[in-house]
């Protein structure tokens, strides 16, 4: 398997952002994109042959798909306002994205071939950061429609959102495990942000990281590990791999820059 991640390195005239792909242990890193503007939210296609990500190189946020074999890329979305949170569907034919082109951030799906949009959420609140259930029939996303950011699940067709999280001050960035048994996410309690794991069958959650600034968790394709970004004692962004119960943790030595936004690939044949 591979991991994708973003580095931010201070240079003489600003900050240089890079999107990189490396082996799962952090070795053999290769740079895909370099920009003077932020790069965000890389996510793998189901076959591991493409990455979708957000770039600010044109000033406004825009969503691109990068083909790893050819090096070519395609602009998918650059509507006025927010273009963020892209994620491939399990069959690789659609993206879930967040757009504010109607004035309010909402979740949409986009056909990657025709770029036809379908609006999934319709709320006065901020709806963002959707990811797909493994069966492709629903999405988990973050919304403050209950007053604070929490995770919700919504059917692709039904448009009835079910709230999944209730504890803490902040719950966001949910991702399903490949087998659908868990959702990993960020839980904040009094400005202490840790990685949490929701057991979908029992509808219970547990914190598995130490905080205080843990973010962007992503599952390994074998369902047994979670990779997330955090900061060390020097304030440098690093990546940590953790077992699901949080008992075993290892830092990935991948770069001297500030590392963020990890995404673990599927098994690549």
At 158 the pLDDT is: 67
pTM, entire model: 0.95
Of the listed ranges 53-67, 73-87, 147-161, 181-195, the one predicted with least confidence: 147-161
> What H or E segment, with its residue span, contains residue 124?
none
The closest of 136, 241, 127, 229 to 180, measured between CA atoms, is 136
* Mean pLDDT, rounded, for 164-190: 97
* Mean pLDDT, rounded, for 6-31: 92
What is the pLDDT of the chain when averaged over all its residues?
A: 95
Look at residue 22 and tell me whether its pLDDT is greater than 70: yes
Look at residue 254 and tell me whether its pLDDT is greater than 80: no
251-257 contact pairs (CB < 8 A, 24+): 252/3, 252/25, 252/26, 252/227, 253/26, 254/3, 254/5, 254/20, 254/22, 254/26, 254/29, 255/7, 255/20, 255/29, 256/9, 257/7, 257/8, 257/9, 257/18
Look at residue 51 and tell me whether its pLDDT is greater than 90: yes
In whole angstroms, what is the distance from residue 246 CA to residue 128 CA? 27
Look at residue 2 and tell me whether its pLDDT is greater than 90: yes
Query: pLDDT tens digits, residue range 146-160?
Result: 999 999 999 998 678
At 159 the pLDDT is: 75
* Mean pLDDT, rounded, for 124-128: 95
- Give 12-78 as a DSSP string: TTEEEEEEEEEETTS-S-EEEEEESS-EEEEEE-TTSSEEEEEE-TTSS-EEEEEETTT--EEEEE-
Query: pLDDT tens digits, residue range 205-229?
Result: 999 999 999 999 999 999 999 999 9
In whole angstroms, what is the distance from residue 78 CA to residue 54 CA? 10
Look at residue 269 and tell me whether its pLDDT is greater than 80: no
């Amino acid at each position: 398997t591979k991991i994708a991640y973003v580095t931010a390195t201070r240079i003489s005239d600003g900050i240089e952002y890079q999107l990189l792909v490396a082996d799962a242990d952090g070795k053999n890193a290769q740079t895909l994109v370099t920009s003077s503007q932020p790069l965000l939210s890389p996510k793998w296609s189901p076959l591991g042959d493409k990455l979708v990500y957000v770039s600010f190189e044109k000033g406004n946020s825009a969503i691109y798909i990068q083909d790893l074999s050819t090096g070519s890329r395609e602009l998918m979305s650059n509507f006025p306002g927010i273009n963020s949170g892209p994620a491939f569907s399990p069959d690789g034919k659609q993206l879930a994205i967040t757009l504010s082109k109607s004035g309010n951030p909402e979740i949409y799906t986009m056909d990657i071939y025709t770029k036809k949009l379908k609006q999934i959420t319709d709320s006065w609140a901020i709806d963002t950061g959707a990811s797909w259930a493994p069966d492709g029939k629903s999405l988990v996303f973050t919304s403050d429609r209950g007053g604070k950011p929490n995770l919700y699940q919504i059917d692709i067709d039904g448009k009835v959102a079910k709230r999944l999280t209730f504890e803490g001050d902040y719950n966001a960035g949910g991702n399903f495990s490949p087998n659908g048994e868990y959702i990993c996410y960020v839980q904040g309690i009094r400005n202490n942000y840790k990685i949490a794991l929701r057991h979908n069958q029992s509808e219970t959650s547990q914190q598995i990281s130490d905080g205080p600034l843990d973010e962007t968790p992503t599952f390994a394709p074998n369902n047994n590990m979670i990779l997330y970004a955090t900061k060390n004692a020097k304030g440098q962004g690093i990546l940590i791999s953790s077992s699901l119960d949080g008992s075993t943790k290892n830092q990935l030595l991948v770069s001297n820059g500030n590392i963020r936004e990890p995404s673990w690939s599927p098994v690549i044949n």
